[in-house]
Structure 1
Protein backbone atom coordinates (compact mmCIF):
# COMPACT_ATOMS: atom_id res chain seq x y z
CA UNK A 1 0.00 0.00 0.00
CA UNK A 2 3.01 2.30 0.40
CA UNK A 3 4.17 1.73 -3.18
CA UNK A 4 3.98 4.61 -5.64
CA UNK A 5 2.10 2.39 -8.10
CA UNK A 6 -0.63 1.76 -5.51
CA UNK A 7 -0.87 5.48 -4.65
CA UNK A 8 -1.21 6.40 -8.34
CA UNK A 9 -3.96 3.82 -8.82
CA UNK A 10 -5.89 5.06 -5.78
CA UNK A 11 -5.55 8.70 -6.88
CA UNK A 12 -6.68 7.83 -10.41
CA UNK A 13 -9.80 6.08 -9.05
CA UNK A 14 -10.57 8.90 -6.62
CA UNK A 15 -10.19 11.48 -9.38
CA UNK A 16 -12.52 9.53 -11.68
CA UNK A 17 -15.17 9.21 -8.95
CA UNK A 18 -16.93 12.05 -7.24
CA UNK A 19 -16.24 11.53 -3.55
CA UNK A 20 -18.26 13.62 -1.07
CA UNK A 21 -16.18 15.42 1.56
CA UNK A 22 -17.97 13.64 4.42
CA UNK A 23 -17.13 10.14 3.11
CA UNK A 24 -16.06 7.82 5.93
CA UNK A 25 -13.02 5.55 5.57
CA UNK A 26 -15.30 2.47 5.26
CA UNK A 27 -17.35 4.18 2.55
CA UNK A 28 -14.13 5.14 0.76
CA UNK A 29 -13.01 1.52 0.74
CA UNK A 30 -16.44 0.48 -0.58
CA UNK A 31 -16.25 3.15 -3.27
CA UNK A 32 -12.83 1.97 -4.39
CA UNK A 33 -14.05 -1.64 -4.36
CA UNK A 34 -16.83 -0.63 -6.77
CA UNK A 35 -14.48 0.18 -9.63
CA UNK A 36 -15.35 -0.38 -13.25
CA UNK A 37 -13.42 -3.65 -13.11
CA UNK A 38 -15.60 -5.47 -10.63
CA UNK A 39 -18.63 -5.16 -8.40
CA UNK A 40 -18.06 -7.89 -5.87
CA UNK A 41 -18.92 -8.50 -2.26
CA UNK A 42 -16.73 -10.46 0.08
CA UNK A 43 -16.16 -11.26 3.72
CA UNK A 44 -12.76 -11.34 5.39
CA UNK A 45 -11.45 -12.39 8.79
CA UNK A 46 -11.90 -8.75 9.83
CA UNK A 47 -15.68 -9.31 9.49
CA UNK A 48 -15.66 -12.14 12.05
CA UNK A 49 -17.05 -11.79 15.57
CA UNK A 50 -14.52 -11.60 18.42
CA UNK A 51 -14.97 -15.35 19.04
CA UNK A 52 -14.05 -16.01 15.40
CA UNK A 53 -15.58 -19.09 13.81
CA UNK A 54 -16.41 -20.59 17.18
CA UNK A 55 -20.17 -19.97 17.23
CA UNK A 56 -23.40 -21.47 15.92
CA UNK A 57 -25.53 -18.33 15.84
CA UNK A 58 -28.13 -17.80 13.15
CA UNK A 59 -28.09 -14.46 11.34
CA UNK A 60 -30.76 -12.16 12.77
CA UNK A 61 -31.07 -8.46 12.03
CA UNK A 62 -33.32 -5.59 13.10
CA UNK A 63 -35.50 -3.81 10.51
CA UNK A 64 -38.17 -1.12 10.41
CA UNK A 65 -41.65 -2.07 9.19
CA UNK A 66 -44.78 0.07 9.34
CA UNK A 67 -42.81 2.62 11.43
CA UNK A 68 -41.99 -0.01 14.06
CA UNK A 69 -38.62 -1.49 14.99
CA UNK A 70 -38.68 -5.25 14.42
CA UNK A 71 -35.84 -7.25 16.01
CA UNK A 72 -35.22 -10.97 15.47
CA UNK A 73 -35.58 -10.95 11.69
CA UNK A 74 -34.03 -14.22 10.58
CA UNK A 75 -32.02 -14.11 7.35
CA UNK A 76 -32.19 -17.68 6.05
CA UNK A 77 -30.29 -18.60 2.91
CA UNK A 78 -32.05 -21.97 2.97
CA UNK A 79 -35.64 -20.72 2.88
CA UNK A 80 -37.56 -20.58 -0.38
CA UNK A 81 -40.01 -18.04 1.11
CA UNK A 82 -40.16 -14.79 3.03
CA UNK A 83 -42.35 -15.58 6.04
CA UNK A 84 -44.36 -13.36 8.38
CA UNK A 85 -46.06 -15.09 11.33
CA UNK A 86 -49.66 -13.94 11.76
CA UNK A 87 -48.86 -12.66 15.28
CA UNK A 88 -46.15 -10.36 13.87
CA UNK A 89 -48.44 -9.06 11.11
CA UNK A 90 -51.15 -8.30 13.67
CA UNK A 91 -48.74 -6.55 16.03
CA UNK A 92 -47.47 -4.44 13.12
CA UNK A 93 -51.03 -3.29 12.51
CA UNK A 94 -51.91 -5.43 9.50
CA UNK A 95 -55.21 -7.29 9.28
CA UNK A 96 -56.82 -9.83 6.98
CA UNK A 97 -57.89 -6.97 4.69
CA UNK A 98 -54.18 -6.25 4.02
CA UNK A 99 -53.46 -9.80 2.83
CA UNK A 100 -53.72 -10.92 -0.77
CA UNK A 101 -55.70 -14.19 -0.75
CA UNK A 102 -53.62 -17.31 -1.31
CA UNK A 103 -54.43 -20.97 -1.74
CA UNK A 104 -50.79 -21.90 -1.49
CA UNK A 105 -49.67 -24.58 0.91
CA UNK A 106 -46.11 -25.05 2.05
CA UNK A 107 -44.12 -27.87 3.54
CA UNK A 108 -42.62 -26.67 6.82
CA UNK A 109 -39.17 -27.58 8.09
CA UNK A 110 -40.70 -30.32 10.28
CA UNK A 111 -42.40 -31.97 7.28
CA UNK A 112 -45.92 -30.76 8.07
CA UNK A 113 -48.09 -29.01 5.51
CA UNK A 114 -49.14 -25.45 6.39
CA UNK A 115 -51.72 -23.29 4.63
CA UNK A 116 -50.75 -19.75 3.76
CA UNK A 117 -53.27 -17.30 5.25
CA UNK A 118 -52.39 -14.72 2.62
CA UNK A 119 -49.60 -12.73 1.05
CA UNK A 120 -48.50 -9.44 2.61
CA UNK A 121 -46.61 -6.94 0.46
CA UNK A 122 -45.01 -4.23 2.58
CA UNK A 123 -42.03 -1.89 2.73
CA UNK A 124 -39.15 -2.85 4.99
CA UNK A 125 -36.25 -0.53 5.91
CA UNK A 126 -32.94 -2.42 6.07
CA UNK A 127 -29.44 -0.94 6.24
CA UNK A 128 -30.59 2.54 5.33
CA UNK A 129 -32.51 1.34 2.26
CA UNK A 130 -36.18 0.58 1.62
CA UNK A 131 -37.33 -2.68 0.06
CA UNK A 132 -40.81 -3.76 -0.99
CA UNK A 133 -41.01 -7.37 0.14
CA UNK A 134 -43.68 -10.03 -0.32
CA UNK A 135 -44.22 -12.24 2.74
CA UNK A 136 -46.25 -15.43 3.10
CA UNK A 137 -48.35 -15.03 6.25
CA UNK A 138 -48.57 -18.22 8.32
CA UNK A 139 -50.17 -19.00 11.66
CA UNK A 140 -47.09 -20.48 13.30
CA UNK A 141 -45.07 -20.22 16.49
CA UNK A 142 -41.59 -19.23 15.42
CA UNK A 143 -38.24 -18.22 16.86
CA UNK A 144 -38.26 -15.18 14.55
CA UNK A 145 -40.55 -12.21 13.98
CA UNK A 146 -39.93 -12.16 10.21
CA UNK A 147 -37.96 -14.47 7.95
CA UNK A 148 -36.13 -13.22 4.86
CA UNK A 149 -35.32 -16.01 2.40
CA UNK A 150 -34.41 -16.55 -1.25
CA UNK A 151 -37.01 -14.18 -2.77
CA UNK A 152 -35.49 -11.14 -1.01
CA UNK A 153 -31.88 -12.29 -1.07
CA UNK A 154 -31.87 -13.13 -4.78
CA UNK A 155 -33.96 -10.19 -6.01
CA UNK A 156 -31.69 -7.61 -4.40
CA UNK A 157 -28.38 -9.49 -4.63
CA UNK A 158 -27.98 -9.75 -0.87
CA UNK A 159 -25.11 -11.93 0.35
CA UNK A 160 -25.62 -13.16 3.93
CA UNK A 161 -23.01 -14.76 6.17
CA UNK A 162 -24.10 -16.33 9.44
CA UNK A 163 -20.40 -17.03 10.11
CA UNK A 164 -19.59 -13.30 9.98
CA UNK A 165 -22.99 -12.23 11.40
CA UNK A 166 -23.42 -9.73 8.55
CA UNK A 167 -25.12 -9.32 5.22
CA UNK A 168 -23.89 -7.22 2.32
CA UNK A 169 -25.48 -5.83 -0.81
CA UNK A 170 -24.76 -3.21 -3.45
CA UNK A 171 -27.10 -0.24 -3.73
CA UNK A 172 -26.47 2.82 -5.92
CA UNK A 173 -22.88 1.64 -6.53
CA UNK A 174 -22.18 1.44 -2.79
CA UNK A 175 -21.48 -1.67 -0.76
CA UNK A 176 -23.86 -1.73 2.21
CA UNK A 177 -23.11 -3.87 5.27
CA UNK A 178 -25.77 -4.73 7.83
CA UNK A 179 -24.55 -6.23 11.08
CA UNK A 180 -26.47 -9.02 12.70
CA UNK A 181 -27.73 -8.98 16.24
CA UNK A 182 -25.64 -11.92 17.51
CA UNK A 183 -26.75 -11.60 21.13
CA UNK A 184 -30.45 -12.02 20.39
CA UNK A 185 -32.05 -15.03 21.96
CA UNK A 186 -35.43 -16.56 21.33
CA UNK A 187 -38.05 -14.39 22.98
CA UNK A 188 -41.73 -13.59 22.91
CA UNK A 189 -43.21 -10.67 20.98
CA UNK A 190 -45.12 -7.95 22.82
CA UNK A 191 -47.51 -5.36 21.40
CA UNK A 192 -44.79 -2.77 20.75
CA UNK A 193 -42.48 -5.39 19.17
CA UNK A 194 -40.02 -5.32 22.02
CA UNK A 195 -38.71 -8.74 22.90
CA UNK A 196 -39.47 -10.43 26.19
CA UNK A 197 -36.88 -13.08 26.95
CA UNK A 198 -38.28 -16.58 27.46
Structure 2
Protein backbone atom coordinates (compact mmCIF):
# COMPACT_ATOMS: atom_id res chain seq x y z
CA UNK A 1 0.00 0.00 0.00
CA UNK A 2 1.38 3.41 -1.00
CA UNK A 3 0.63 6.64 0.83
CA UNK A 4 -0.89 9.57 -1.04
CA UNK A 5 2.37 11.51 -0.68
CA UNK A 6 4.38 8.67 -2.25
CA UNK A 7 1.88 8.42 -5.09
CA UNK A 8 2.13 12.17 -5.76
CA UNK A 9 5.95 12.06 -5.84
CA UNK A 10 5.90 9.09 -8.20
CA UNK A 11 3.39 10.76 -10.54
CA UNK A 12 5.43 14.00 -10.53
CA UNK A 13 8.57 12.03 -11.40
CA UNK A 14 6.79 10.33 -14.27
CA UNK A 15 5.37 13.62 -15.56
CA UNK A 16 8.78 15.30 -15.63
CA UNK A 17 10.59 12.26 -17.10
CA UNK A 18 11.28 12.23 -20.79
CA UNK A 19 10.54 8.86 -22.27
CA UNK A 20 11.08 8.19 -25.95
CA UNK A 21 7.94 7.50 -27.96
CA UNK A 22 9.66 4.34 -29.18
CA UNK A 23 9.66 2.92 -25.64
CA UNK A 24 7.12 0.15 -25.34
CA UNK A 25 4.96 -0.20 -22.21
CA UNK A 26 6.78 -3.49 -21.55
CA UNK A 27 10.17 -1.74 -21.63
CA UNK A 28 8.89 0.92 -19.25
CA UNK A 29 7.60 -1.77 -16.89
CA UNK A 30 11.03 -3.46 -17.00
CA UNK A 31 12.71 -0.14 -16.22
CA UNK A 32 10.53 0.44 -13.16
CA UNK A 33 11.13 -3.16 -12.04
CA UNK A 34 14.90 -2.65 -12.38
CA UNK A 35 14.75 0.48 -10.22
CA UNK A 36 12.76 -1.38 -7.56
CA UNK A 37 15.17 -4.35 -7.71
CA UNK A 38 18.24 -2.16 -7.28
CA UNK A 39 17.80 -2.27 -3.50
CA UNK A 40 16.65 -5.88 -3.36
CA UNK A 41 18.83 -8.94 -3.07
CA UNK A 42 17.87 -11.25 -5.89
CA UNK A 43 19.36 -13.54 -8.50
CA UNK A 44 18.62 -13.85 -12.20
CA UNK A 45 19.86 -15.94 -15.12
CA UNK A 46 22.61 -13.34 -15.57
CA UNK A 47 24.04 -14.54 -12.22
CA UNK A 48 24.37 -18.13 -13.41
CA UNK A 49 27.81 -19.67 -13.85
CA UNK A 50 29.04 -21.11 -17.14
CA UNK A 51 27.60 -24.46 -16.06
CA UNK A 52 24.21 -22.78 -15.94
CA UNK A 53 21.81 -25.06 -14.09
CA UNK A 54 23.68 -28.29 -14.82
CA UNK A 55 25.33 -28.82 -11.44
CA UNK A 56 24.57 -29.89 -7.90
CA UNK A 57 27.54 -28.21 -6.20
CA UNK A 58 27.26 -26.80 -2.72
CA UNK A 59 28.11 -23.13 -2.24
CA UNK A 60 31.75 -22.96 -1.10
CA UNK A 61 33.64 -19.70 -0.56
CA UNK A 62 37.11 -18.71 0.57
CA UNK A 63 37.69 -16.25 3.39
CA UNK A 64 40.29 -15.16 5.92
CA UNK A 65 40.18 -16.16 9.55
CA UNK A 66 42.93 -15.44 12.07
CA UNK A 67 45.04 -14.09 9.16
CA UNK A 68 44.85 -17.46 7.37
CA UNK A 69 43.22 -18.11 4.02
CA UNK A 70 40.46 -20.66 4.57
CA UNK A 71 39.10 -22.43 1.46
CA UNK A 72 36.12 -24.77 1.34
CA UNK A 73 33.84 -22.72 3.62
CA UNK A 74 30.37 -24.18 3.20
CA UNK A 75 27.53 -21.64 3.14
CA UNK A 76 24.47 -23.60 4.23
CA UNK A 77 21.12 -21.96 4.95
CA UNK A 78 19.87 -25.37 6.08
CA UNK A 79 22.16 -25.36 9.12
CA UNK A 80 21.02 -23.94 12.44
CA UNK A 81 24.68 -23.59 13.54
CA UNK A 82 27.98 -22.09 12.44
CA UNK A 83 30.36 -25.03 12.67
CA UNK A 84 34.14 -25.22 12.97
CA UNK A 85 35.72 -28.69 12.98
CA UNK A 86 38.30 -29.09 15.74
CA UNK A 87 41.00 -29.84 13.15
CA UNK A 88 40.33 -26.48 11.46
CA UNK A 89 40.82 -24.59 14.73
CA UNK A 90 44.34 -26.04 14.99
CA UNK A 91 45.13 -25.28 11.35
CA UNK A 92 44.18 -21.61 11.71
CA UNK A 93 46.05 -21.18 14.98
CA UNK A 94 43.47 -21.58 17.73
CA UNK A 95 43.64 -23.96 20.68
CA UNK A 96 41.07 -25.22 23.22
CA UNK A 97 42.03 -22.36 25.58
CA UNK A 98 40.43 -20.02 23.00
CA UNK A 99 37.04 -21.74 23.35
CA UNK A 100 34.31 -20.81 25.77
CA UNK A 101 32.57 -23.75 27.44
CA UNK A 102 29.54 -25.30 25.84
CA UNK A 103 27.21 -27.89 27.28
CA UNK A 104 25.26 -28.10 24.06
CA UNK A 105 24.72 -31.32 22.17
CA UNK A 106 23.58 -31.48 18.59
CA UNK A 107 22.00 -34.11 16.42
CA UNK A 108 24.09 -34.97 13.38
CA UNK A 109 22.68 -35.90 9.98
CA UNK A 110 22.77 -39.59 10.95
CA UNK A 111 20.76 -38.86 14.13
CA UNK A 112 23.79 -39.44 16.36
CA UNK A 113 24.34 -37.00 19.20
CA UNK A 114 27.55 -34.94 19.10
CA UNK A 115 28.83 -32.85 21.97
CA UNK A 116 30.06 -29.36 21.17
CA UNK A 117 33.73 -29.11 22.24
CA UNK A 118 33.32 -25.37 22.85
CA UNK A 119 32.34 -22.09 21.26
CA UNK A 120 34.85 -20.05 19.28
CA UNK A 121 34.19 -16.35 18.79
CA UNK A 122 36.33 -14.89 16.03
CA UNK A 123 36.35 -12.45 13.15
CA UNK A 124 36.22 -13.49 9.51
CA UNK A 125 37.08 -11.40 6.46
CA UNK A 126 35.23 -11.71 3.16
CA UNK A 127 34.80 -9.27 0.26
CA UNK A 128 36.77 -6.59 2.13
CA UNK A 129 34.27 -6.79 5.00
CA UNK A 130 34.73 -8.08 8.55
CA UNK A 131 32.21 -10.13 10.46
CA UNK A 132 32.16 -11.37 14.05
CA UNK A 133 31.08 -15.01 14.16
CA UNK A 134 30.52 -17.54 16.91
CA UNK A 135 31.28 -21.10 15.80
CA UNK A 136 30.36 -24.30 17.58
CA UNK A 137 33.53 -26.42 17.57
CA UNK A 138 32.90 -30.10 16.83
CA UNK A 139 35.36 -32.99 16.76
CA UNK A 140 34.19 -34.33 13.40
CA UNK A 141 35.56 -35.33 10.03
CA UNK A 142 33.98 -33.09 7.43
CA UNK A 143 34.14 -32.12 3.78
CA UNK A 144 34.35 -28.42 4.74
CA UNK A 145 36.77 -26.32 6.76
CA UNK A 146 34.07 -24.06 8.21
CA UNK A 147 30.30 -23.96 7.88
CA UNK A 148 28.42 -20.66 7.90
CA UNK A 149 24.80 -21.38 8.74
CA UNK A 150 21.66 -19.38 9.48
CA UNK A 151 23.05 -17.59 12.57
CA UNK A 152 25.64 -15.81 10.38
CA UNK A 153 23.45 -15.54 7.28
CA UNK A 154 20.58 -13.91 9.17
CA UNK A 155 22.77 -11.60 11.27
CA UNK A 156 24.55 -10.23 8.19
CA UNK A 157 21.48 -10.39 5.93
CA UNK A 158 23.15 -12.71 3.43
CA UNK A 159 21.12 -14.30 0.64
CA UNK A 160 22.96 -17.36 -0.71
CA UNK A 161 22.26 -19.26 -3.94
CA UNK A 162 23.94 -22.59 -4.58
CA UNK A 163 22.32 -22.60 -8.05
CA UNK A 164 24.06 -19.32 -8.96
CA UNK A 165 27.18 -20.14 -6.89
CA UNK A 166 27.05 -16.71 -5.24
CA UNK A 167 25.98 -14.97 -2.10
CA UNK A 168 24.81 -11.38 -1.79
CA UNK A 169 24.44 -8.91 1.07
CA UNK A 170 23.96 -5.18 1.50
CA UNK A 171 26.69 -2.83 2.70
CA UNK A 172 25.08 0.56 3.09
CA UNK A 173 23.27 1.07 -0.22
CA UNK A 174 25.60 -1.24 -2.19
CA UNK A 175 24.91 -4.87 -3.06
CA UNK A 176 28.02 -6.96 -2.36
CA UNK A 177 28.34 -10.17 -4.38
CA UNK A 178 30.72 -12.98 -3.41
CA UNK A 179 31.33 -15.68 -5.98
CA UNK A 180 31.64 -19.28 -4.95
CA UNK A 181 34.92 -21.11 -5.40
CA UNK A 182 34.46 -22.34 -8.97
CA UNK A 183 37.64 -24.40 -9.15
CA UNK A 184 37.56 -25.71 -5.59
CA UNK A 185 36.55 -29.29 -5.01
CA UNK A 186 34.44 -30.17 -1.99
CA UNK A 187 36.82 -31.18 0.77
CA UNK A 188 39.71 -28.90 -0.19
CA UNK A 189 41.84 -29.02 2.89
CA UNK A 190 43.58 -26.41 4.93
CA UNK A 191 47.08 -27.18 6.11
CA UNK A 192 48.29 -26.14 9.53
CA UNK A 193 51.75 -24.61 10.05
CA UNK A 194 53.13 -28.07 10.90
CA UNK A 195 52.00 -29.56 7.58
CA UNK A 196 49.10 -31.55 9.01
CA UNK A 197 45.78 -31.54 7.20
CA UNK A 198 42.72 -30.01 8.78
Short-chain TM bin: 0.7 to 0.9
How far residue 4 of structure 1 moved from its aligned partner, in angstroms, is: 4.3
Q: 1:5 aligns with which of 8, 12, 19?
A: 19
Counterpart Cα distance in 1 of 2:194 and 2:124? 15
Counterpart Cα distance in 2 of 1:178 and 1:112? 34
Change (3 A) 1:193 1:156: farther
Q: Give the alignment's TM-score, normalised by structure 2.
A: 0.78
Counterpart Cα distance in 1 of 2:139 and 2:120? 13
Answer whether contact 1:68 1:92 (CA < 8 A) is retained: yes
Counterpart Cα distance in 1 of 2:177 and 2:64? 16
Q: Which runs of 4+ in 1 moved over 4 A?
A: 192-196
Render the CA deviation track for 1:83-127: whole Å, top value 9, x for unaligned.
000000111111111101000000011211000000000000011
Counterpart Cα distance in 1 of 2:124 and 2:81? 16
Root-mean-square deviation (CA, aligned residues, Å) is 2.4
Partner of 2:100: 100
Q: Unaligned regions of 5+ residues in structure 2, if any?
A: 1-16, 21-33
Q: Give the alignment's TM-score, normalised by structure 1.
A: 0.78
Partner of 1:52: 52
Change (3 A) 1:165 1:88: same
Render the CA deviation track for 1:116-169: whole Å, top value 9, x for unaligned.
000000000011100000000000000000000000001111000000000000
Answer whether contact 1:71 1:194 (CA < 8 A) is retained: no
Answer whether contact 2:70 2:190 (CA < 8 A) is retained: no
Partner of 1:90: 90
Aligned residues between the structures: 167
Change (3 A) 1:118 1:42: same
1:142 aligns with 2:146: no
Change (3 A) 1:193 1:120: farther
Render the CA deviation track for 1:15-56: whole Å, top value 9, x for unaligned.
xxxxxxxxxxxxxxxxx96x7x97311111111011210100
Aligned to 1:130, the other structure's residue is in SS state strand
Q: Unaligned regions of 5+ residues in structure 1, if any?
A: 7-31
Answer whether contact 2:71 2:190 (CA < 8 A) is retained: no
